[in-house]
Copies of this chain bind each other. A is one copy, B any other.
Amino acid sequence: MTLEQVFKDIDASYEKYKSILAEAVAIESVSGDPTRRPQTIKMVNWVKERLEKLGVRCTLQDLGKHTVDGKELPLPPVLFGQLGDSKSKKTVLVYGHLDVQPAAKVDGWETEPFVLTERVISYPGCIIEITRDGKLFGRGSTDDKGPVLCWLHAIEMLQKHKIDIPVNIKFCFEAMEESGSLGLAELLEKNKNAFLAGVDFVCISDSYWLGTTKPCLTHGLRGLATFKIEVTGIQQDLHSGVYGGVVHEPLQDLIWIMAQLTSVENRILIPGIYDDVAPMSKEEHQLYEKIDFNVAEFRDSVGAKKLPTEDKKTLLIRRWREPCLSLHGIEGAFSGAGEKTVIPSKVIGKFSIRLVPNMKPEKVNKIVIDYLNELWKKRGSPNTFNPRLGHDALPWVADTNEANFKAGARAVKQVHGVEPDLIREGCSIPITLTFQDLTGKSVLLLPLGAADDMAHSQNEKFNKSNYVQGVKILLSYLLELGKA
């Protein structure tokens, strides 16, 4: 039995794979909707049964309850599974999530979000329709039910063709990822020397390619520090006719401060903020030059007329390995439609900074708060100023020379015939760092979906080709890990 023959069998199994994904999508496991908590729990059990059919020993890890709108709700359990426990084999830990974001047809879906629907259409926002193959529309198709099922299909196919799986596999599937992964980090910490013991590699399929055609491996994520600036000074909201002109308005102070955080080109004006950004090696420079990324297509996909930089390399560097500062909004000011001639009494400006290696949250916090206090002194307002940190998350970057990444790269090459681009993401996936810290081993983010899959948005989809190739990639990855 050659790998080529197995791949042909995978191609031939597409209709079956589609019907299984349709079953999964039909379970409305929206973790953020308390009324659909039973479906979220049902989804965990549905996957448990399927894993058990493959011989995976499963346990459900109870996380207790949480309170939503004053009502106690059971948290969906975390599904731990284990396939194989050979002492002579290495062990890979696979993470995925079974819950989804909310979705409703009225939000602008062209199909029923919980009915998996295959269509062959071109896509708004994607300028050039390169693949003409089918797209499987449905909530969870790409985030993250499709990729999770790719693991199950790959194992089933190896078993069907009696191919030895050269690694032990552990599964950690949760169903609260879209709601902050409540309780997961604590559960994993408790299992550092139990379920997580003996893990050699970690693999997460919950991110996306950089574009729509070229496969990628992800080796970096930015961290985050969020900030709140509160300005008060009058005891209640005032009528702007009666009091306008004779009080120091807190909102005027706040906006003056917020205006001095970034330049028009969206560079951060806080002194020292770029000082600790890791210098780029020659090797890394070359990496960015090789990456397949179309700036014009990216610009058009966000609907911008012009970007602060349109140089490919500079843009990717700013997006992945430089800090940035975004203003999010103001709490306490008038935010409705129409007009309200009010002087708000207490306003809180919100902004956040994305962190990259080697920035330290403590130092970032200090230089940001120092800068804000210095601005405030310059302002000279008698109002009360209270800048503070919200929360922070560390950036993550992996060594792409690790065996885990090499196995991933070889698997991708076997399926797609090209070396994957080594990319980063600008956002944070905190669980990545948790796995790395607790196991001390390499974590690989192995994206199966395309950049235009619209995770979290209307018309989420998973390409037919990405689904089928995804099964092949994960199957190959398991075999390649055996050589590591």
Contact = CB atoms under 8 A, between A and B. Distances in A.
Interface of A: 125, 222, 224, 226, 233-236, 238-249, 251-253, 255-256, 258-262, 264-266, 302-309, 315, 318-319, 322-331, 333-337, 339-345, 350, 352, 354, 379-384, 390-391, 425-428, 457
B341 A426 contact: no
B307 A247 contact: yes
Interface core residue of A252, A315, A325, A334 (most chain B CB under 10 Å): A252
Copies of this chain, complex-wide, total 2
Contact of A426 (B226, B245, B259, B304): B245
Contacts of A382: 304-306
A248 B304 contact: yes
Contacts of A380: 264
Contacts of A241: 222, 224, 354, 425-428
Given A255-B258, A326-B249, A337-B331, A354 B302 contact: no
Nearest to A223: B241
Contact of A251 (B240, B318, B329, B425): B329
B425 A324 contact: no
Given A304-B233, A305-B233, A335-B333, A245 B226 contact: no
A324 B120 CA distance: 58
A181 B321 CA distance: 58
Contacts of A226: 339, 341
A352 B336 CA distance: 15
A267 to B, nearest CB: 8
Contact of A340 (B260, B307, B328, B384): B328
29 contacts: A224-B341, A233-B303, A234-B302, A235-B302, A239-B427, A241-B354, A241-B425, A242-B425, A242-B427, A244-B319, A246-B307, A246-B308, A246-B315, A246-B318, A248-B307, A249-B327, A251-B328, A251-B329, A255-B258, A255-B259, A258-B259, A264-B380, A303-B345, A304-B382, A305-B383, A306-B382, A327-B333, A329-B330, A331-B337
A264 B330 contact: no
Nearest to A382: B306
Interface core residue of A222, A241, A262, A382 (most chain B CB under 10 Å): A241
A318 B241 CA distance: 11
Contacts of A381: 264
Given A233-B305, A303-B345, A304-B382, 19 more contacts: A240-B326, A241-B425, A242-B425, A244-B319, A244-B325, A244-B354, A245-B266, A245-B322, A245-B324, A246-B307, A248-B308, A251-B327, A255-B259, A328-B342, A329-B330, A329-B335, A329-B340, A339-B350, A339-B391
Contacts of A243: 302, 319, 426
A247 B302 contact: yes
A235 B334 contact: no
Interface core residue of A350, A380, A428 (most chain B CB under 10 Å): A350
